[in-house]
Structure 1
C-alpha cells in the first residue's frame, strides 16, 4: 500500500506486462518515486518470458519457471495491478480504455503489449490454429495437445524464421520424449528459410531441422486452415493435428485508433522512447524505433528498461530525459530442441551443448530478478518501549480484508455489555448476521460491514467490500434493499482523490444495482489508508437465523475457503516454489467477487439455519451455529472446497494475522487432525460463501440446484446431537 507520508499526485500507467515494464516495476520497488501512483494493466496475473518458451515447449522448463508473477512484482513495487485488456487510449482525457469499459487515467503512460503472430485473414485460422504470440495461449494449447496427441502426430508450423525453427525442433524433441514420432512441416512463403540469420547459423539450423525430421517447404503459401489440415496455394493439402503460426509480427489492432504516429501498425518512437504524443512512451516489440530501425527482439526491450524507468520519472519531476542507443548487432542464441544451441553473430557457425548451457544461465539469471525481492525492513522498537509491545506488533504485517477483524472473544465480550433491545419493533439485537426490525407486515434486516484495503485497486476493493457486506443480507434469505457507503480515502492529490472516489462509487453501485438495492449516499473522509464499508438494509418475510439448525441436517458450503492465507501470502510476496502466487491471488479475487444472491435464493426455501463465512473462519462460524442450537457436527476435510494454492501456502506456514485468534476461539470445542487443511478451518474469509444446514433428505437436491446454477457448493458434513463439538475427520 502507499506510504501515508507522501500523498500520490500523478499517475504513471504501464499498459501491458512486457519485459521492459517488468524491469521498470522491479526498479520502482527499489526506489519509488514520491508522489506518483503507478499502475500496470495486463490481461492476466502472470506474463511469460519469451526467452524460455522454446525450452518450455521442449520440456526443459516448467510453465511456472518461465512466468513473471506480476502480482508479486506489483506488491514489491507498490503498484496497482488491473487485470484487463487495453483496447484504446483516449488522449483527450488521458485515459486508457479497457475491454470491460473501465477507464484508467494517466499523466504519463507507456505501452509494452508485444505483438501477435495470428493470421486473421487466413480462412479457418481463428477456429483451427494457434498463434505462438501471445505466448500464454500457445503454451496452454500445446500442453492440452500433448495430453491427447496421437501416436504419430502431424504438425504444420507457418513461418520458417528463427522462432518457427526453434519451435519446430522443440516440438519434435518433446514428442519424441513421449514416444511419438511426429511429422512436422515448416512453411515459408519466401524462397529461403531463416532469412534473417547469418550463413553459418543457417546451415547449422537447417541441419538440425533435418535431424529432427522437420520438412522445410519454401515458397509455400497457406490459403486455408481446416480441422485436421492446411491447404496451400498450389492446391496441396497437408494433414495437421496441430497448426501453429509463427509468421511475422502483427501489431495490436487498437493502436491504429490512438492517433499516434505508426509504422506498419507499430508505435513510432524517438530516442527518448516517446511516441508522437510526449506523454505516451512505447517499448518492446510493439514499438518501432524510427531513429534506428531494428528487428523485433527481446534484447531491445530489456535494454530499453533503464531508459524508460528514468524517463517516466523525469516526465513527472521535470529533469532531463535520456536517450536510448540500440546496439547495431547482438548475439542470438537459438535453441535446437534438445539441450543444444547455435550462436548467430558476424556470420560465424558455433553450436553445441555448451551454448545451450550459456543460454540457460542467461535466461535463469533474468528470471531470478523476479523470484526473490528484498524484504522490507520493519522499524525497530524505540528504546525503553513498554513490555509486551513487540508481541502485540508481531512479525507479520496486519492483514487487510477480514484478516484485520477484531478477534471473536474480544467482540463477544464487548457485545455482552450492550443493553437488550427495548423497542417492540426491534426483533433482534447483536448475535446474528443482521439486526431484524418489524416493518408493516414484513421484516427488515439491517447490517454494516467494512474492509481495510488489501489491494491498491480501489475499484476491485469496492466490488469485494460490497459483496462482502451483502453477505449478511443474503445469509438471512433477505432481498437487498438499500445501501449507504462509508469510505476512508488515503491522502491523495485532488485529481487522484476524485478519481479514486468515483471508481469506488461506480464499482460498488454496479454490485448493489445488480443485487436489487438502491444506493442512497453515504459518508467519506480522509485517513491513513483506504477503507471501504457499507450499511445495508434488506427485506424478508421470515429471516433465516444462524442458530436454528437441527440434528441430522446436512451442512452445505457454497464457496471454497482460503482467502486469508492467500492474501497474507500476497502481502508478504511469498515465493512458493512450484506454484504461481499471482494465479492463486487472481482466483481468490474471482471467488471474492462472486455474489451470493443466486446461492441464497437456492438455499433459502430449504435452509434450517444459515450464515456467511467471514472473518472468524469456517470452524468458528460453524461453532456459532451449533452453540446457538446446542448441537455438534461431523465434518469431512476432504469434502471442503479450498481455493487454488491455499493448502500449499498453509503447508509453508503462511497464515493470516487473524488466524491465531480464530484458532484460540475454537479451543476445547474442536477435534481435528493436524494438517494444513485443518489450519485453513481457522482462516479468516473475506466475501466468503454461505454456510447452511438443510434437511438431509433434501440435501442432494439442493446441492444439485446450486451446482446447476454454477455455484461451487459442497456438502461438507452433518449436524448431530450435542454437546457442542466440531469433529473433523479426513
Structure 2
C-alpha cells in the first residue's frame, strides 16, 4: 500500500466469490492509490464451483478445491474480515455484519453467491445439506466420509445438471472406497431429469446414472427429512444417511431488506454491473440478475465479469468512465460423469469421453493456478550506497507486526539495567515483572502497558487482539481488569475514514474490555506511517500478586494456548501461510485469558503470559527470578496447525534471532519444533508453575470450563536453564 498518499476511499467487496477473487488478483497487479480495499467473507477460503463434483468424487483434495482468500487479500493489500454480511444501509453507506461493528464503504460490490437450501421443508435444517454455499457442503461431505457407518445411503434432491453430477460423484466415491450398502437416490419433482440439457446429453448422463446404480425417481415431492430417512408426499420413504439439495438457486433472504431492486430475489444490475437502485453498489456472479441480458446461474459468467468489474470499481472510485459487460450467448458446459469422464455440450452439440475430463481438468487447474501462483512483486531497488551495518546478519527478515516486532530480551534487559529503584512506598513492584503492583488505598492495583504494530489490515481485529494482549499482563498477575486507556496511531487518511476506523477500533476494544469487566476511560490518537494500537491497563487484586518468582522444584508447568503465532504471521506477510492456518492463529489470539487466570491464580506459584520473547524467553524469566531449572517435553508443547511445517521451511519472525540468543542455556533438539521455542507470540497463553499435586484437579476444572490447558514440563533444582526433550 502506498502510504505516501492518504487513504481517501473505501471499497468493500462483500463475498469471496469467483469474480471478487479475480478482482483481488488484478488489484494486486494494478492497485488504485488512495483506495482501501476490504473483503468480507465468512471463512478464509472459497471453494471453486468447477471442481466441486471432482472433489466429491475423490479426484481433488480439499486444498485443491479451495481458493485461498487470505493470500489473495495479502497480495492485493486488502484487509479480510471473517464474517457474514447481514444487511446494507445505503443511506449511511454501512455494511452490517453478524458478529461485529458495521463497515463503512464508498463503493461496495456484492458477490455472495446463492443457496440451495429448502427452509420450508420440515427437517431440512437439522438433517440435510445444501450444495450451495459450497464450503459448508464440502465440509459436511468430508465429515460423512470419515464417519464409520454400516451403510452409505445418500439422497440428492433436484434432478438438474448439478443434481446428476453430485449423484454420480457420490456413487463413484463411495463405490471406489468399498463402502458397504451404498445407495444413491436422485429425486426430481418434474417428469424427467436434466430438463435444461439437450437430448443426447440427457441420454448419456442417464446411462451413467444407471451404470452406477443410482436410483432415479421423478414426479415426486419431498415432504419431510428425518434422521435416517427422506419422506415423500405420496408416503414413500428412502433411507438417507446423507441428504443434499441441489434444487435450484435461491437468493439470500437478507437482500430483500436492502432496498435494492430485485428480480426473484436476485439483485438487478445494468450493463456496467451497477445495481439499478444505487450507483455506489455493484453486484456480480450468481447473486446478480443481468437486466440487459438475463443468463442462467453459471460460474463462467462470474469469471467473465471480473475484468469489467475491476475496471468499473476503479473508475467509480476515481471519477472515471465505466464500461459495459456483454455476456456470451452460450458457453461450453463440461459436466462430470462420476469417474474421470465428462460430457460437453454447446450449441446443441454433445460429446463425451475421458479426454473431455482431461480438458475440464486443465481448464479448472489453470483457473486455480491463476489464483494461487501469484506473481512476485518487484521490490524497490536497494540504495547504491548506505551506512555500514554491523548487525546485518539476521536482519534479512521482513519487519513483522505484533510481537514479532519487539526489541530483543537482552537489549531490553541492558536498557533497564541502570534504572533507579522505586522511591514511593506505594510502589510495591515495578520493572521486571509482567505488571507494576501499586498500593491504592486499602487495595492492590496492577498497571501495565502494551501495544501492537499492525500485522493485519483489519483495524477491528487488530484492536481486539491488542486488547487481549495488553490484558494478558493483568491476568498473569492474577488480577481482575479494571480500566484502560487506548493509544492509536492511524495511517494518513481522510477525516471520514479516520472516524470510521476509530469507530471500529473503539468498538472492538470496548467489547473485549466489557467482557473482562473493565472500562475504557480515555486515550490518545495520532497520525503516522502505519496503524498501531496500544493500551495502558489496570487491574485489582484481592490476594498477593502472582509474579515471576516463586516457582519451586517439583512444580508442574502448564500452558493455556498453543504456540506458533509468530511464524504463521511472518509467513502470511510473505504469502506462504495457508488461510485456514492464519484464521486458526487469529482465533487463538482473540481468546481472552480471564477464565484461565481465574482457575490458575489460587494455586500458581509463578505465572506469566507468553508473548514476544517466545516460550523459551518467558520461561527463562520465571527460572531466573525463581533460581530453578525447567524440563520441557517438546511432544507435549501445543503448536498451532501449520506452524511446525513453516518452521521447517526456515520461516522466521523478525525477533526470532534475538530470542534464539538464549541458546547457550537451552538444551533442545535441532528441529523445526525446537525452533518454535523462540517463536514470538502475540496474545499468547498463560505459562504457570503449579504444585504437581494440584494438576489432576486443575485439568478437570479447565475441562469443565471448556478452557484448554496443556501439561508441558516440570520445575527442577539447579541454575536457571531449559532442558527440552
CA deviation after TM superposition for structure 1 residue 374, in Å: 2.2
SS at match of 2:372: coil
Aligned to 1:123: 122
Aligned to 2:443: 442
In the alignment, structure 1 residue 627 sits paired with structure 2 residue 624: yes
Q: 2-side partners of 1:152 and 1:101: how far apart? A: 43
CA deviation after TM superposition for structure 1 residue 392, in Å: 6.7
- Matched-pair contact (CA < 8 Å) for 1:200–1:344: no
CA deviation after TM superposition for structure 1 residue 699, in Å: 1.5
Aligned to 2:261: 261
Aligned to 1:578: none
CA deviation after TM superposition for structure 1 residue 151, in Å: 4.8
Aligned to 2:717: 721
What is the CA deviation profile of residues 488-520 of structure 1, one whole-angstrom value per residue up to 9, with x for unaligned ones?
A: 111011111111111111211111122122222
Q: 1-side partners of 2:675 and 2:483: how far apart? A: 37
- Matched-pair contact (CA < 8 Å) for 1:448–1:469: yes
Aligned to 1:594: 591
Alignment match of 1:687 (pick from 675, 683, 688): 683
Aligned to 1:563: 565
- Matched-pair contact (CA < 8 Å) for 1:635–1:718: yes
Aligned to 2:6: 7
Aligned to 1:197: 197
- Matched-pair contact (CA < 8 Å) for 2:394–2:657: no
SS at match of 1:547: coil
What is the CA deviation profile of residues 469-500 of structure 1, one whole-angstrom value per residue up to 9, with x for unaligned ones?
A: 01111100111111111111110111111111
- Matched-pair contact (CA < 8 Å) for 1:560–1:712: no
What is the CA deviation profile of residues 305-348 of structure 1, one whole-angstrom value per residue up to 9, with x for unaligned ones?
A: 11000111111111111100000000001010100001011222
Aligned to 1:611: 608
Aligned to 1:206: 206
In the alignment, structure 1 residue 703 sits paired with structure 2 residue 699: yes
Q: 2-side partners of 1:526 and 1:255: how far apart? A: 37
Alignment of 1:209-220 (within 5 A): 209-220=209-220
SS at match of 2:561: coil
What is the CA deviation profile of residues 701-720 of structure 1, one whole-angstrom value per residue up to 9, with x for unaligned ones?
A: 11221232122111100000
Alignment of 1:8-27 (within 5 A): 8-27=7-26
Alignment of 1:90-101 (within 5 A): 90-101=89-100
Instruction: Sort the Cα spacing of 1:389 and 1:107 in 2 relative to 1 into closer, same or farther, 3 A.
Output: farther
Aligned to 2:366: 365
What is the CA deviation profile of residues 24-75 of structure 1, one whole-angstrom value per residue up to 9, with x for unaligned ones?
A: 0110000110111110100111111010000000000000111011111100
- Matched-pair contact (CA < 8 Å) for 1:88–1:257: yes
Alignment of 1:466-485 (within 5 A): 466-485=467-486
- Matched-pair contact (CA < 8 Å) for 2:452–2:534: yes
Q: For structure 1, which runs of at least 5 residues remain unmatched after alignment?
A: 576-580
Q: 2-side partners of 1:524 and 1:639: how far apart? A: 43
Instruction: Sort the Cα spacing of 1:718 and 1:127 in 2 relative to 1 into closer, same or farther, 3 A.
Output: same
Decide which moves more: 183-192 or 57-66: 183-192
Decide which moves more: 96-105 or 113-122: 96-105
Aligned to 1:222: 222
CA deviation after TM superposition for structure 1 residue 675, in Å: 1.1
- Matched-pair contact (CA < 8 Å) for 1:198–1:346: no
SS at match of 1:369: helix
CA deviation after TM superposition for structure 1 residue 149, in Å: 5.4
CA deviation after TM superposition for structure 1 residue 230, in Å: 1.4
Alignment of 1:390-539 (within 5 A): 391=392, 394-539=395-540
Q: 1-side partners of 2:580 and 2:358: how far apart? A: 30
State TM-score, norm by structure 2.
Answer: 0.98
- Matched-pair contact (CA < 8 Å) for 2:25–2:76: yes
Q: For structure 2, which runs of at least 5 residues remain unmatched after alignment?
A: none
Decide which moves more: 309-318 or 375-384: 375-384
State TM-score, norm by structure 1.
Answer: 0.97
What is the CA deviation profile of residues 160-200 of structure 1, one whole-angstrom value per residue up to 9, with x for unaligned ones?
A: 11110111110010001111352211111111210111222
Structure 1 vs Structure 2 CA RMSD: 1.3
SS at match of 2:680: coil
Number of residues paired by the alignment?
722
Q: 1-side partners of 2:204 and 2:236: how far apart? A: 29
